[in-house]
Amino acid sequence: MLFHTLTFWVFFALFLAIYWRLGLRGQNILLLVATNFFYGWWDWRFLPLIWYLVSVDFFIGRQLGRESRPSFRKGWVALSLISNLGLLFVFKYLNFFAGETCHLMGLFGYACDVPGWIKNIILPLGISFHTFQTVSYIMDVYRRKEAPVQRWVDYALFCGFFPQLLAGPIERSSTLMPQLFTPRQPLSADDFSEGLYHLMVGFFKKVVIADNMAVLVNHIFSLPPEQLSAWEVLLGSYAFAFQVYGDFSGYSSMAQGIAKWMGFNLSWNFKIPFLATSPQVFWQRWHITLSTWLRDYLFMPLMRMTWLQGMTKVYAVAIIVQLASGVWHGANWTFLFWGLLHGVYLCLQLWLTRRGWFAEPPAGSSLLRRMPWIIGTFHLMCVGMILFRADNIGQAGALFMAFGSRWQITEFVIYGLAQLLLFAGPLMVFEGWLETKKDHLALLKVSWPARTSVYAVMLLMIWFLPPENTHEFIYFQF
């Protein structure tokens, strides 16, 4: 069930009609039933896998709470990591590694083919998000930052809260778990208004921006790179940047709105990233729950190691963390090099800053004052988007080579830029206004006629400017 389809809204309307008539225990039971139905709608065969993962980590969490011997506690953590990361490897990476192994063996004259059962492995939806969320819980219990959950139902709800089940945000037990135990107040006018805001913005981003940009992107990246001019490749990177942003942040926004109408507050996953003034600020605004997860559970532990010292350690760890981010996104060399590129960006920014050769505009600077840094950062991100979207490293390399060829403005380039302006332009104007207000909910604080006018524009564009075909959310494949 996609959030922007009639099927989901029939399901959600029936769910809400029952949900708000129940007490806390009844709501949680209904939530668990709805979560299983929601996930099973995609493919019921993966439900036992989800139950297995939930049960293993629930048991390990309780054992960590009871165990005091350090070696045994480390053993339980290792068992959890093997269970979670092992299954993630099988479903997400085994086919890639098997294929690369066969390719390597072929170079030495040994015939090899990937077994059919490996080729036919299907990636369960949301498994990467589920893995990171459960690993954070186990690590927090191990560090004694959180108490272990004592009831399987409560832990299952934490792992399978259906608004954010398939594509995040990646919630921590410290933020989501207390909300599962606390009685929810009846839906107020303010909560309804905020939920509606998130849903309207999310629908607009997904239907108007992401799905329309997908038409441009799919056309450009389906052509042989040698047929593309430099401007067409650049157009493709622009379009894909807005497709990914509209798609992923649209899902996160809709998840926030749906959760709000259920009495929950989910984490902000995006905070106007295309107005970032540097790569570091970009990652503070883009996929925030993944960035903070990598900081807390990978960067900081690696920084405590002593095999490297000083800035060499900082640069090395930054590269490792960004490589891990790339690997998390998918089993393809393109994602690995995408992560490496962003690691280089961060290290280069830090190196230049330490030498006084790079400085962002002072805090509180106007949007116009920051614009050169914003444009520069956006283009750095678009270079990475070519790697992110390319089918393989060969195609990515050929697309980069196109920048050294014809800088010809064709009719298609003019058409594509007009599409970008039509679909993404209104959002950037709106987000620029939010940036000047320094409040992501500023629209809720204006007069109701002004707010209604903005919603009316969104609805008209959603109604009259959808593409012929809708698309699944991009991050479902991650």
Q: What is the pLDDT of residue 113?
A: 83
* CA atoms of 239 and 244, how far apart (whole Å): 9
Of the candidate ranges 119-123, 240-244, 364-368, the one whose mean pLDDT is the lowest? 119-123
Over residues 296-316, the pLDDT tens digits come to 999 999 998 878 788 999 999
**Where do we find the tokens 């960035």?**
291
**Residues near 209 by beta carbon (within 8 Å), at least 6 away in sequence:** 242, 243, 245, 246, 250, 423, 424, 427
Angle at 478 between CA 215 and CA 155, to 5 degrees: 135
Question: Does 329 participate in catalysis according to the annotation?
Answer: yes
Over residues 368-381, the pLDDT tens digits come to 999 999 999 999 99
Give percent of the chain with pLDDT exceeding 90.
66
Which candidate, 478, 429, 437, 449, places its Cα nearest to that of 204? 429
Over residues 24-59, the pLDDT tens digits come to 999 999 999 999 898 888 778 888 888 888 999 999
Residue 378 burial class via C-beta count within 10 angstroms: exposed 0-12, middle 13-18, buried 19 and up: middle
Residue 271 · residue 216 · CB < 8 Å: no
Whether residue 213 is predicted with pLDDT greater than 80 in this model: the reply is yes
* CA atoms of 118 and 46, how far apart (whole Å): 17
Residue type, 373: W
Instruction: Spell out the alpha helix ranges (H) of 20-93.
Output: 24-43, 47-66, 70-88
Regarding pTM above 0.95, the answer is: no
**Where do we find the tokens 């067409």?**
232
Q: What is the DSSP string of 409-432?
A: --HHHHHHHHHHHHHHHHHHHHHH
Question: How many helices (DSSP H) and strands (DSSP E) are in the chain?
Answer: 21, 0
Q: What is the pLDDT of residue 301?
A: 92
**Residues near 386 by beta carbon (within 8 Å), at least 6 away in sequence:** 233, 236, 237, 240, 396, 399, 400
Whether residue 475 is predicted with pLDDT greater than 70 in this model: the reply is no
Residue 35 · residue 161 · CB < 8 Å: yes
Residue 302 · residue 318 · CB < 8 Å: no
**Residues near 56 by beta carbon (within 8 Å), at least 6 away in sequence:** 80, 83
Residue 248 · residue 473 · CB < 8 Å: yes
Q: What is the pLDDT of residue 421?
A: 95
3-state class percentages of the chain: helix first, strand second, coil last, to nearest 5:
75, 0, 25
Q: What is the pLDDT of residue 477?
A: 61
Phi and psi at residue 473, in whole multiples of 5°?
-70, 135
**Residues near 33 by beta carbon (within 8 Å), at least 6 away in sequence:** none
Q: What is the pLDDT of residue 408?
A: 84
Which candidate, 93, 97, 167, 104, places its Cα nearest to that of 132? 167
Residue 295's CB is within 10 A of a number of other CB atoms, namely: 13
Over residues 334-363, the pLDDT tens digits come to 999 999 999 999 999 999 999 988 888 887
* CA atoms of 219 and 389, how far apart (whole Å): 12
Which candidate, 16, 11, 63, 24, places its Cα nearest to that of 153? 24
Over residues 138-153, the pLDDT tens digits come to 999 999 999 999 889 8
The residue extents of the domains of the chain are 48-184, 190-277+360-477
Which candidate, 392, 368, 3, 11, places its Cα nearest to that of 165? 3
Q: What is the pLDDT of residue 50?
A: 86
Give mean pLDDT, residues 268-292.
95
Give mean pLDDT, residues 217-230.
92
Angstrom distances, CA of residue 82 to CA of 77, 354, 427: 9, 40, 43
Over residues 169-205, the pLDDT tens digits come to 999 989 999 998 889 989 999 999 999 999 999 999 9
Over residues 83-129, the pLDDT tens digits come to 999 988 888 888 888 888 888 888 787 888 888 888 788 878 778 88
Evaluated on CA atoms 278, 281, 283, 287, the torsion sign reads: negative
Whether residue 476 is predicted with pLDDT greater than 80 in this model: the reply is no
Q: Which of 130, 329, 379, 471 is catalytic?
A: 329
Which candidate, 362, 371, 367, places its Cα nearest to that of 435? 367
Q: What is the pLDDT of residue 471?
A: 66
Tell me which DSSP letter residue 186 carries.
P
Angle at 335 between CA 332 and CA 341, to 5 degrees: 145
Q: What is the mean pLDDT of the chain?
A: 91
Residue 204 · residue 462 · CB < 8 Å: yes
Q: What is the pLDDT of residue 168?
A: 73
